[in-house]
Structure 1
Amino acid sequence: MRSRSTLLEDWNKVLSSCDKPAYLAIAEAIELEIQRGVLQLDDRLPPIRELAKGLNLDYTTVARAYQEAQHRGLITSKAGVGSYVRIRNSNQLEAEPTLIEMTMNMAPEPQEPELLARMRHGARHVTEQGNFHRLTRYQDFGGTEDDQQAAAVWLNGVSPHHKGRTVLVTPGIQATLAGLMNGLVGAGNTLCAEAITYPGVKAMAGLLGIRTLGIPGDAQGILPDALEAHCRINKVRALYLNPTIQNPTTRTISETRRREIVEVARYFGLKIIEDDPYSKLMHNPPTSLASLAPELTYYVNGLSKTCSAGLRIAFLVCPTELESKRIASSLRATQIMASPMCSALATQWILDGTAQMCLDNIRLMSQRRQLIARRILGDFKIETNPEAFHLWLNLPSAWSQSAFCGRLLNRGIAIASADMFCLEGATPNAVRLSLGGNLNDERLEHTLRIVAETLNSYPANH
């Protein structure tokens, strides 16, 4: 594929000499360059915003052009992944495949009739008991006393430090992390995180005007010496960590490394945001950072990865009761409250055992799917955890992550490339695959065989 500057120059000429609407002119320019062999299979097109700026057009026009090109079967587009050429020439049009979504890291969905019946029963019970209006009114931020007690029950075993403290019930982990980043760091200030980290942190930091610094690590977790060096040079306000079955690498920070990190944080008075949604997937999770440094740590857990992705309920434990009140006031200003309906359902499922059954079921399905993945992808360099529902795949040198994602997207499979997760430094040539969501075992196996087949093939321009 020619350089983007040359591509923009050619397309500007097409637009200036064409009397058709700009979106049609762009689509036809893509088709012409495919016919000429300038654009080839798996070539990545410029992002919509970049192209709009280069062609002096608005975002909507370019987005419509890409939609038109996709409708003609020329390209495949996926938000967060990009737009790729999907045919070698315009005579090879084929039906658009049904997209297999592996970019969102969702837990496997329970299918057992008994469990589904329990979930439905709990939902009916919540809406039918007592005063229905209590579920439709505003409530104080942090949940009712019953909600907070249920949250404390759920946190037993993964972070026992919460006993005797208020557990705030919040509207999902993502919203809670955004509130903590805003309240603890703030615009213009610095947050440290793993160099390869949860992409939501990148997005939220950008929106909030927060500077992020990536801390390098190894199989045991971030390097304490590197964290210390950053803290000596920069005025770091907080450290974000996803320490257990990390997204995307599945790594878990070792017990020893956790204590070393806490030692550095204590020395510099560094606040720790512990994002811990996957720890309950492990039968024997390591000691939480919050248990090692309760005076520094803001501990966040929830139900999205262990019960239901659509149940947007999270649990937050702050270092002190006074800080809990301050953070609750800050979160209330932007989030009002967690949905009383969702909070009541979460409480019902926790107390009647349904949430634990969901967790047990997700564990079993995740373990089974990891075995499938190892059987099919075992000859390749993968990193994973037996109790996770995602894996980190290091690509062979023949494939770039961009070309590999594009080739799979052309085959109807959407995966997440490493550049989505990297804060700074060299981006590893890797991708993350989610094994959960609505895929059943049979469809997952079929999908992973396509991934393996693609790994063993060569890029179009190899």
Structure 2
Amino acid sequence: MKPGYATIVSAIVDAIARRNLVAGERLPPQRELSHRLGVAIATVGRAYAQLEQQGFVVSHVGRGTFIAGGRAADALPEAPVAEVIDLSTYKVPVPDIDTTLADTLKTIIAEHHPQQLLGASPAAGTMEHRQAMAHWVERFGIQASAGQIVITNGGQHATMAALSTLTHAGETIATEELTDPRMKSVASYLDRKLVGVAMDEDGMIPESLAELCRSQPVAAVYVTPRAQNPTNAMLPAERRIAIAEIARRHDLPIIESDIYGTLISEHCEAPIAVIAPERTHFITSLGRIAGPGMKVGCLVSPLSEVARTQSGVGMSTGSASLIAVEIGMRWVSNNRLDAMIRWQQAENIRRLSLLATFPLLGAARTEVASPHAWLNLPEQWRAEDFINAAAALGVSIAPTHSFVVGRNVMPHAIRLVIGAPASVEALQIACERLERLLNSQPKSSFGG
């Protein structure tokens, strides 16, 4: 079957994301590619036009079509480059969000009495909202009933609800030796002890988890299989199966965080929640899609455990914000979230392509459409020294020690949130500053 123009577009975008095509590289002439693929030249022309419209390529009359490092025509409005360029925190630049939100609120108010929107809802959420969220998680391969869904005020709230009801104060939770700082904060607040499980480039090492479970009591396992924060590790299928088997052997609940799953849609390994549905509590959130203010997420729990996990919501906030959930579930139903996902995927790929043009920064661990990158520093740099030096140049990077669990050794690596700058131009400036710094020697602080 001959490929259509959409297939050509998808293949080129995928090649850009995987760095097989980099900024400045020339694409084959349309006639040559049409002959090679056995399609009409008009098909290739339409694909190239679509790529240019989306900002992936630029065309020059008489010269050809080249991979771009710029941004899409429908990207955000021009933003001035801030004095300090932030690569430390997650921001979600979504085009036309003002209009979208205003239109949604108008529709909701027209259909509901305001008193309804400000009223209380069941701890797990209304059945209508739970059904919508059950439909949403099908994209992850999870076939859950509405009765298994507990609606939460975002991913962090879901983590708190799970940990507070599945474990007790003073108990040990096994997690990756580098983990999300918010997870550390929740565990500390709840007086849970985190113990780091050894990792490699593929994520949590099952043998290390098994050894930990043999050596001391463990109450639960918390793991992020996709686009792990901060390392971007992607847990292979065999490790997911092994972790599930270890949890079964020791009768442990698994808390599976998949906050970035929607952005990393091409990675289709089955979630642990599919492998071990009887003990896995799956967490997802809309905040990484629509913006951090969209505090809407959920726990997908085994049916026998829903009463426990929903009590965590009831004890903390009573229920999720009804109006926020109504907005989020409408965006699920009318495919607005899908449009946001596609835009962010394209924007993140564009930014990762820019990162790849720098020899040292381009060595960072990335994943297709991930909003962050993990960079091992050159031998001369310690993480804290590099972060301080970057700050002096006007680039803000999260402290690496914030990801380290307990007293594990801090790696000399940094996380770069490439989606944080307001524009690609700002990211370009930050990359230029960091590349120069990576090529330099740290200044000695010895004053004697």
Aligned position for 2:84: 99
For 1:102, give the aligned amino acid.
L
2-structure distance, mates of 1:366, 1:185: 37
Aligned position for 1:435: 418
Q: Is the 8 A contact 2:421 2:427 kept in 1?
A: no
2-structure distance, mates of 1:341, 1:254: 38
Aligned position for 2:354: 372
Aligned position for 1:302: 285
2-structure distance, mates of 1:308, 1:215: 31
| 1:27-426 to 2 correspondences below 5 Å | 98-107=83-92, 109-111=93-95, 113=96, 117-163=99-145, 165-284=147-266, 285-320=268-303, 322-378=304-360, 381-423=363-405, 424-426=407-409
Q: Which runs of 5+ in 2 are unaligned?
A: 1-81
Partner secondary structure for residue 191 of structure 1: strand
Q: Deviations over 1:180-212 (max 9, x none)?
A: 112212211100000111111222222222111
Aligned position for 1:7: none
Post-superposition offset of 1:452: 0.8
1-structure distance, mates of 2:324, 2:361: 43
Q: Deviations over 1:90-120 (max 9, x none)?
A: xxxxxxx73222211333x122x4x653343
Cα pair distance change 1:133/1:273, threshold 3 Å: same
Cα pair distance change 1:156/1:378, threshold 3 Å: farther
For 2:275, give the aligned amino acid.
L
Q: Deviations over 1:310-340 (max 9, x none)?
A: 10000111112x4112221232111211111
1-structure distance, mates of 2:216, 2:317: 31
Q: Deviations over 1:354-396 (max 9, x none)?
A: 1111111111111111111111255664111122010001111
| 1:3-22 to 2 correspondences below 5 Å | none
Aligned position for 1:71: none
Aligned position for 2:433: 450
Q: Is the 8 A contact 2:165 2:308 kept in 1?
A: no
Cα pair distance change 1:163/1:145, threshold 3 Å: closer
For 1:390, give the aligned amino acid.
H
2-structure distance, mates of 1:168, 1:288: 18
Question: Among the aligned pairs, what percent are the same residue?
Answer: 25
For 1:431, give the aligned amino acid.
I
Cα pair distance change 1:128/1:454, threshold 3 Å: farther
1-structure distance, mates of 2:363, 2:416: 13
Partner secondary structure for residue 279 of structure 1: coil
1-structure distance, mates of 2:330, 2:198: 42
Aligned residues: 362
Cα pair distance change 1:158/1:327, threshold 3 Å: same
Cα pair distance change 1:228/1:243, threshold 3 Å: same
Q: Deviations over 1:117-172 (max 9, x none)?
A: 33432232223322111111122112212211221121112042314643111111
2-structure distance, mates of 1:117, 1:127: 15
1-structure distance, mates of 2:150, 2:361: 45
For 2:125, give the aligned amino acid.
G
Which stretch of structure 1 is more off in the superposition, 172-181 or 322-331? Answer: 322-331
Q: Deviations over 1:412-444 (max 9, x none)?
A: 221113211111422110110101135211111
1-structure distance, mates of 2:187, 2:359: 35
Name the TM-score, length of structure 2 as normaliser.
0.77
2-structure distance, mates of 1:379, 1:422: 22
Partner secondary structure for residue 161 of structure 1: coil
Q: Which runs of 5+ in 1 are unaligned?
A: 1-96
Q: Is the 8 A contact 2:87 2:421 kept in 1?
A: no
Q: Is the 8 A contact 1:187 1:208 kept in 2?
A: yes
Q: Is the 8 A contact 1:165 1:317 kept in 2?
A: no
Which stretch of structure 1 is more off in the superposition, 380-389 or 443-452? Answer: 380-389
Q: Is the 8 A contact 1:248 1:392 kept in 2?
A: yes
Q: Is the 8 A contact 1:186 1:210 kept in 2?
A: yes
For 2:348, give the aligned amino acid.
S
Aligned position for 1:24: none
Aligned position for 1:460: 443
Which stretch of structure 1 is more off in the superposition, 289-298 or 161-170? Answer: 161-170
Partner secondary structure for residue 431 of structure 1: strand
Q: Is the 8 A contact 1:221 1:253 kept in 2?
A: yes
RMSD between superposed Cα atoms in Å: 1.8
Aligned position for 2:30: none
2-structure distance, mates of 1:298, 1:379: 36
Q: Is the 8 A contact 1:244 1:252 kept in 2?
A: yes
